[in-house]
Amino acid sequence: MKYVADLHLHSRYSRACSRDLELPNIQAACLQKGIDIIGSADFTHPAWFGNLHNQLAEDGSSGLYYLKAAPTKVRWLLSTELSLVYKDKGKTRRIHLVVHAPNLQAVKELNDFLDGKYNIRSDGRPILGIKAPDLVKLCLSINPRFLIYPAHIWTPWFSVFGSKSGFDTLEECFDEQTENIYAFETGLSSDPAMNWRVSQLDKLLMLSNSDAHSCHNLAREANILDLDELSYDRFYNLLKNNQKSLVKTIEFYPEEGMYHWDGHRACNFSCPPEQSKKLKNICPVCGKPLIIGVENRVEELADREIGFKPVGASDYVKLVELDKIIADSLDIKTRSSTKVQAFYNKLINELGSELKILLEIDIKEIERVAGGQIALGVARVRRGELEVVPGFDGQYGVVKIFTQKEREARQRKLF
């Protein structure tokens, strides 16, 4: 059976996250998006852990949970993100790790330990002064079936391979614990093809998660898992045994990610890696070093040419979220506009989940419900016919499915 899993998101208790991120709202969004397995988010935060403990119940002894008050097919997998900040080999390191737990008892034991030494109460994604290998050792000593892996592995400020405060190899980061790392997240700004160029990643399973800070960003990246049994143990084995054939990822266009190119947001300057090289990584506007993005950093650590595909690599599909397609198709600037939302809800109500609409539903059906323009938008995204102005220095890229010429022609027709 195929299941859509989004395993890294945040709760209302994480910094800069929406107040709406409560368990019932997240579940409603999962049904709308088409997510079957959702990460619990932020399990180290005491108040949020209280919610998980009180509102979720384990499905048998599967290690997966459901919402007691409104049981649906959605299953929760205990997950969190930790921010580790520490000195190692003479440099300050700042890295984010995804952690999955086999059950609530294991989470409680981890939380009790961390609470005695660190501040886990003020942020759903706590900052811990603990080295990555020590964190892995700690989790595995509590329960050997914890899973720990790099979050958004390439982003400049907070990742294992980040240009600002990361490492060049997995071994440098995880030392003797490297053998206990089974997976990594591509992050929004890179896609599998970029990661295939880095041979040290071959031994890890490539995963994609939304890292959503609000419900409407859920499933913007996700994993389609082929599982013969819906349980934590089955998921654990998938990662540990690197079963690439059982995973297909749903990807953001990497150019749309916030750190794809190099640049300075304040200077309104961005450029591809080739140009940064010519500029010696100095911003021509302010004269300070550029924020080096993901494409550049991948190039730096790549030991293979562009286009290389490892044998047995997992498959992937690049998508644009449905409300963005609708907005672009109707020439509306914001995806949250009432008109966009009305078409979005109509499509979901009549045709099924967002992922189903983006991936499977016949274009003629979409046309019947939402008109030719939106149907054409979806068709173009499926064929990869679009342009993206790349993101940089914390600013998202911009997807353009319809050209300026087409927009103008449409405007003329209207008036």
Query: Which residues lie near Zn ion (CB under 5 A)?
Result: 96, 151, 264, 267, 283, 285-286
The least distance separating Zn ion from the CB of residue 127, rounded to whole angstroms, comes to 11
The least distance separating Zn ion from the CB of residue 367, rounded to whole angstroms, comes to 39
Q: Which lies closer to Zn ion via its Cβ, residue 73 or residue 277?
A: 277
Residues 6 or more apart in contact with residue 277 via CB below 8 angstroms: none
Query: How many other CB atoms sit within 10 Å of the CB of residue 281?
Result: 16
Q: Which lies closer to Zn ion via its Cβ, residue 271 or residue 375?
A: 271
Q: Which lies closer to Zn ion via its Cβ, residue 69 or residue 279?
A: 279
Specify the residue for token string 């070093």.
289
Q: Which lies closer to Zn ion via its Cβ, residue 151 or residue 320?
A: 151
Under a CB-based contact definition with an 8 Å cutoff, are residues 157 and 121 in contact?
no
Q: Which lies closer to Zn ion via its Cβ, residue 283 or residue 388?
A: 283
The least distance separating Zn ion from the CB of residue 189, rounded to whole angstroms, comes to 12
The least distance separating Zn ion from the CB of residue 284, rounded to whole angstroms, comes to 8
Local structure of 65: helix, strand or coil: strand
Quote the longest CA-to-CA distance of the chain.
Answer: 69
Under a CB-based contact definition with an 8 Å cutoff, are residues 138 and 128 in contact?
no
Whole-angstrom distance, CA of residue 239 vs CA of residue 204 = 8
Q: Which lies closer to Zn ion via its Cβ, residue 5 or residue 212?
A: 212
For 15, 116, 362, 363, the CA distances from 382, given in Å and listed in that order, are 34, 50, 11, 10
The least distance separating Zn ion from the CB of residue 91, rounded to whole angstroms, comes to 19
The least distance separating Zn ion from the CB of residue 265, rounded to whole angstroms, comes to 9
The least distance separating Zn ion from the CB of residue 153, rounded to whole angstroms, comes to 10
The least distance separating Zn ion from the CB of residue 3, rounded to whole angstroms, comes to 24
Under a CB-based contact definition with an 8 Å cutoff, are residues 20 and 11 in contact?
no
Helices and strands, counts by H and E, the chain: 15, 18
Q: Which lies closer to Zn ion via its Cβ, residue 166 or residue 377?
A: 166
From the list 9, 1, 72, 71, the residue with the least C-alpha distance to 38 is 9
From the list 121, 149, 180, the residue with the least C-alpha distance to 8 is 149
354-383 core/surface letters (b: 16 or more CB in 10 A; e: else): bbebbbebeeebbbebbeebbbbbbebbee
Q: Which lies closer to Zn ion via its Cβ, residue 16 or residue 414?
A: 16
